[in-house]
């Protein structure tokens, strides 16, 4: 388990670490205190990935298309 700040991780790095956390927890050979720490790290990684996905979905949804279906720009995102 890495001690890297989750907020600075890319989506791909967070997903890779989350997969490692899940694998370790599924094996069941981790001490209770370590399992709790892994679970907390996994929860933080999951939230970070969800937030990154939501931001990407909002960006895609904001893309405007012309009559031919070609991108012409984007709508301003609220609060960005």
In a domain, 20, yes or no: yes
2/80 Cα distance (integer angstroms): 30
In a domain, 39, yes or no: yes
In tens, the pLDDT along 49-63 reads: 999 999 998 888 878
In a domain, 80, yes or no: no
Look up the CATH number of the domain holding residue 42.
1.10.287
In a domain, 54, yes or no: yes
Total domain count for the chain? 1
Contact between 22 and 1 under an 8 Å Cβ cutoff? The reply is: no
| Domain assignment of residue 31, given as a range | 6-74
- What tokens does 68 get? 């031919």
Q: Is the CA virtual torsion 47, 51, 57, 60 positive or negative?
A: negative
pLDDT of residue 4 exceeding 70, the answer is yes
In a domain, 21, yes or no: yes
pLDDT of residue 44: 98
Q: What share of the chain is helix, strand, coil (3-state, %, to 5)?
A: 60, 10, 30
pLDDT of residue 66: 74
Is the model's pTM score more than 0.85? no
Measured CA angle at 53 (ends 47, 56), to 5 deg: 145
**DSSP state for residue 5 in the 8-state scheme:** -
In a domain, 79, yes or no: no
């Amino acid at each position: 388990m890495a001690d890297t700040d989750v907020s600075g991780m890319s989506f791909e790095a967070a997903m890779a670490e989350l997969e490692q956390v899940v694998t370790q927890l599924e094996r069941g050979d981790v001490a209770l205190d370590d399992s709790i720490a892994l679970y907390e790290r996994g929860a933080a990684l999951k939230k970070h990935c969800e937030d990154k996905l939501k931001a990407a979905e909002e960006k895609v949804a904001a893309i405007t298309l012309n009559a031919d279906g070609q991108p012409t720009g984007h709508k301003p995102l609220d609060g960005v």
